[in-house]
Amino acid sequence: MAEPWNPTIHHFESLGSTNTSLVADATNGAPAGTVYVADFQTAGRGRRDRTWEAPPKSSLLCSVLLRPTISLAEAHLATIAMALAAQTAVERATTKAPLLKWPNDLLFDGAKFGGILAEVVPQSSPGSQQVALVVGIGINLTFSGPPESEATSLEKATGRIIERDAFLHLLLEELGNRQSLLNNQSGRTTLLAEYKGVLSTLGREVRVELADTSLVGQASTIGASGELGVEVDGELLWFHAGDVVHLRPTT
């Protein structure tokens, strides 16, 4: 039976990275639903070894520990659950629905204001069917990103100053509505259907940027583990990681 969703929030004025700290504490047995939120991170991390920076109290910087019964190959679905929760929470808080760009960026008017970094916790009990996952999210509330970036904030994009802790509660409520879906096949199918229904990348011409190359094609589908299918010169290619650029303006 699915365990009840009772997130426990731990607040820190400053941490290196909420993800790094929570991965360490998950290794030592922290329970599912442990949430770390920081006013400031001195070593915040983004996807693909990038940094994630924000002045104190300008953003939601948090990480959530999940322990779903899922294969490692499907662990990316946890970031999808978080992305859907964040999209819905933003719409509830601002009355404006942001776009989701694959893999899990949140956009208003083509500019990013939120991103997700999920990490697998090294397993202490190898026989367990549960995978410990730390899902970290950064949402720019009043900070629109470093000057050279093309990012935005909820304040800039919607004209509203969203209070962090109120938003965190909305986010955890929406995540609670989805996290139990990770535990069985029919739930995972439901989650993927919701994702495919709202992912703005599908149907677009995109450029997929990889470590040392990039490809242009038509984003056409999402696989069972959340991977992106792109038609390039008549061939369907699958991407499990990478950055995507939408080559037509987002609406």
The site that binds ligand BTN (CB under 6 A) totals a number of residues, namely 20
Scanning 90-98, 111-119, 122-130, 210-218 for contacts with ligand BTN by CB under 6 A, the matching segment is: 111-119
Minimum Å gap between C-beta 116 and ligand BTN is 6
Does the footprint of ligand BTN cover residue 19 (CB under 6 A)?
yes
When asked if residue 171 is in the footprint of ligand BTN (CB under 6 A), the reply is: no
Residue span 137-156 as binding mask against ligand BTN, x where in contact by CB under 6 A, dash where not: xx------------------
Residues found in the chain: 251
Q: In the complex, what is the shortest distance from the CB of residue 144 to ligand BTN, in angstroms, rounded to a whole number?
A: 15
Report in angstroms the alpha-carbon separations of 151 from 53, 107, 112, 175, 219.
Answer: 12, 9, 5, 24, 23
For the bound state, the minimum distance from the C-beta of residue 184 to ligand BTN, rounded and expressed in Å, comes to: 28
Q: Whose CA is closest to 10, among 20, 24, 23, 22?
A: 22
Please tell me whether residue 47 binds ligand BTN under the rule CB under 6 A. yes
Start-to-end CA distance of the chain, whole Å, equals 42
Comparison of 187 and 226: residue with beta carbon closer to ligand BTN: 226
Residue sitting closest to ligand BTN (CB) = 115
Among 30, 61, 133, 219, binds ligand BTN (CB under 6 A): 61
Find the shortest distance in angstroms from Cβ 125 to ligand BTN.
Answer: 25
Q: Which is nearer to ligand BTN, 8 or 190 (CB)?
A: 8
In the list 23, 33, 34, 45, the residue contacting ligand BTN (rule: CB under 6 A) is 45
| Smallest distance, ligand BTN to C-beta of residue 142, A | 15
By beta-carbon proximity to ligand BTN, the closer residue of 66 and 187 is: 66
- Which chain residues interact with ligand BTN by CB under 6 A? 17-19, 41, 44-47, 50, 52, 61-63, 105, 115-117, 136-138
